[in-house]
Amino acid sequence: MRTGSIVAGLCLVLSGAAVAAPDYNETPKKLVRSEGSFDYVRRVEEIPMRDGVTLHTVILVPRGAAHAAIVLTRTPYSAEVQTGYAQSGHLGMILDGYDNANDTIIEGGYIRVVQDVRGKYGSKGIYLMNPPLAGTAYNPTKTDDSTDAYDTIDWLVKHVPESNGKVGIIGISYDGFLPLMALVHPHPALKISVPMNPMVDGWRGDDWFHNGAFREQNMPYIYEQDGTADNSGKWWQSEADDYDFYLRGGSAGALGKAHGLEQMGFWNKVTAHPAYDGFWQSQAMDKILAGQPITVPILLVGSLWDAEDIYGYLAMWKALKPKDTGNMVRLSLGPWYHGQGIDEGSSLGAIKFGMDTSKWWRAHVLAPTLAHYLKDEAPPLEVATANVFETGTNEWRSYPSWPLASVKPASLYLKPGGGLGFEPMAGAAASADYVSDPAKPVPYRARPNKTAGYDTCAQWACWLTDDQREASGRPDVLSFTTEVLAKPVTVRGQPVVHLNAATTGSDADWVVKLIDVYPDQVPVDHAMGGYQLAVAMDIFRGRYRESLSDPKPITPGAKLDYQFELPTADHVFLPGHRIMVQVQSSWFPLYDRNPQSFVPNIFFAKPSDYKAATQSITVAGPQESFVSLPLAP
């Protein structure tokens, strides 16, 4: 038998027949999941765009759904990760993450769709960071996020049989920029857009700059987001303290070169456009949508302590609301960090609100808004034009407009000796001085600075509510404080800084903070005794005093006026508290250091350009500095 088998085998070989080798691999060629018990059906589609590029799209349909609306999110942060694939058979569990207002989506019975933008993760095509409109000088291609949104919605309403043909789009941050782009020549099936904490204008006050000062701690984001399609290329540093890391790196341009950031197309655009030129203006969403008719209802959502995109939502509101004759644009402002509207919202850092502010907003604003525009039965919409959380009293307020007509500006004057009050200082001109040294910049929060992540308030999310006592004790920070308040002072709107100042340098940054100083002792919440809570604060780069697009050196020693807005607030300074204003000239390493000697492009300042300067703030006389507060009666 053995000899016969050998002969037979040889005959097979000689005849050309192959003998299959034994397969000892224990892993199946393709794993098939048994999902019959899941309470949803998961589909993955590669949806074709008008130029043939396909975009990776995850569709989650509640089992048994019929005539259900679609809630769409487009993202550069991985549709697979956002839909929690393989984590659970329950839709509520896999949507328990970034950009998913879990309770609202599940209870509403919506079909959830999440899609990778072109060039990221599973989607094909090239990637551009927040691409400008197609066919423009800064995006010569034929597609952008508005065309991709249109093509995606068109495909969904034709190929998802469980849908009722209505689509809403929602997203936070970069994902909040995308619902705005969907409003450019929108698809007829788009019934509601919910941009939350959206990126709107990267130079004026969102992710990349604030009034010309570069947000240096965003360099790792640019490296990882632009470097690879799946963000697998990771930034690195050897210092535990970001303050040390960025200080040793020199200028932002030098640090970028040392890390190979010049490989990234967006970085090269940022460093080539340090001023507010056509590159930034042409992609500012408030300017783009100001020229579009309002045909889709919009719910703009912002956070009062948004560490990333605190400018954009209000810029959109200012651009759209004046022409909103049909009351299609609504505004919500919560006491939140960036995106906290979908997280637990009973506190922010040390500040407690006495309720889950986020849950209230989702139940009373987001859910009824989506239902009204997306459900077949269209329940009535009983949501105010503006819903804003008033901090201090810690109550949600409903307003017919924002800001209210009853709000009137009042000047809060900086005074000699660190005083602050609503009456100007009589007498001759006087100044308060400090030395700003780029070699020892003011930290934006207590060191060590290490901000990556959102898991704890020691990381990035909560720094805007940090206690400002660390700064007020420095010799290069001026603090001005009122007497103890005998009655409440309500600020409702945007404070405006009117700073009169001189510098011995030829350039300077000005950081101004409006602060609520708590009583020395606070019953029940003892940790808040003496706490200095920043209500609104921002930075302005002096070279843009005359023109945001045309920087000019400052004349050394000249007393000049600087005017800029702080982020919006709805805050009550309670009796027993005090109001403080702080002024400083660096905010590091959140923002790059101003060398304080004028150079054409600060990104490429040399070590010898960084020089200490004496800053003089006018605190008495006709040019006395002040902050204009929008006070409610």
DSSP per-residue letters across 184-204: SS--TTEEEEEEES----TTT
Helices within 130-282 (DSSP H only): 145-159, 174-181, 219-227, 242-248, 252-258, 265-272, 278-281
Q: For residue 8, name the pLDDT band (cuts at 50, 70, 90).
A: very low
Token pair 């250091």 in the structure block, residue: 593
Specify the pLDDT at position 476: 98
How many other CB atoms are found less than 10 A from the CB of residue 56? 21
Specify the pLDDT at position 9: 45
What span, in angstroms and rounded, lies between the C-alpha atoms of 576 and 467? 18
pLDDT above 70 as % of the chain: 97
- Average pLDDT (476-502) is 98
- Average pLDDT (242-251) is 97
Q: For residue 73, name the pLDDT band (cuts at 50, 70, 90).
A: very high
> Above 60 in pLDDT, residue 2?
no
What span, in angstroms and rounded, lies between the C-alpha atoms of 103 and 574? 35
> Above 60 in pLDDT, residue 3?
no
At 106, the amino acid letter reads I
Measure Cα distances from 204 to 213, 214, 281, 357, 563 in Å: 9, 10, 9, 29, 14
Q: What is the pLDDT of residues 324-381, one digit of tens each?
A: 999 999 999 999 999 999 999 999 999 999 999 999 999 999 999 999 999 999 899 9
What interhelical angle do 265-272 and 219-227 show, nearest 10? 140
> Above 90 in pLDDT, residue 449?
no
Specify the pLDDT at position 206: 96
- Average pLDDT (283-305) is 97
Specify the pLDDT at position 256: 98
Residue of 314, 305, 310, 347 lying closest to 493 (CA atoms):
314
Burial 133-156 (b: 16+ CB within 10 A, else e): bbeeeebeeebbbbbbbbbbbbbb
- Average pLDDT (215-238) is 96
Mean pLDDT of the chain: 94
Specify the pLDDT at position 7: 43
- Average pLDDT (173-199) is 98
Q: For residue 12, name the pLDDT band (cuts at 50, 70, 90).
A: very low
Specify the pLDDT at position 117: 98
Specify the pLDDT at position 17: 55
What span, in angstroms and rounded, lies between the C-alpha atoms of 124 and 116? 9
Residues sharing a CB contact under 8 Å with residue 344, sequence separation 6 or more, in sequence order: 356, 358, 359
Specify the pLDDT at position 16: 52
Specify the pLDDT at position 15: 52
Q: For residue 584, name the pLDDT band (cuts at 50, 70, 90).
A: very high
Token pair 């919006």 in the structure block, residue: 568
Q: What is the pLDDT of residues 206-215, one digit of tens each?
A: 999 999 999 9
What span, in angstroms and rounded, lies between the C-alpha atoms of 267 and 270? 5
Specify the pLDDT at position 453: 73
- Average pLDDT (436-452) is 91
Say how many Å lie between the first and final Cα of the chain, rounded.
107
- How much is the pTM? 0.94
Specify the pLDDT at position 6: 44
- Average pLDDT (467-474) is 94
Question: Which one has a higher pLDDT value, 12 or 587?
Answer: 587
> Above 80 in pLDDT, residue 442?
yes
CA atoms within 13 A on the CB side of 256: 29
What dihedral do alpha carbons 53, 151, 110, 57 form, nearest 10°? 0
Token pair 């805007």 in the structure block, residue: 464
What span, in angstroms and rounded, lies between the C-alpha atoms of 285 and 59? 28
- Which of 13-22, 98-107, 115-124 has the lowest average pLDDT? 13-22
> Above 90 in pLDDT, residue 242?
yes
- Average pLDDT (549-564) is 98
Token pair, residue 441, equals 């910049």
Q: For residue 23, name the pLDDT band (cuts at 50, 70, 90).
A: confident
CB 307 within 8 A of CB 205: no
Q: How many residues does the chain have?
A: 633
> Above 70 in pLDDT, residue 441?
yes
Specify the pLDDT at position 14: 46
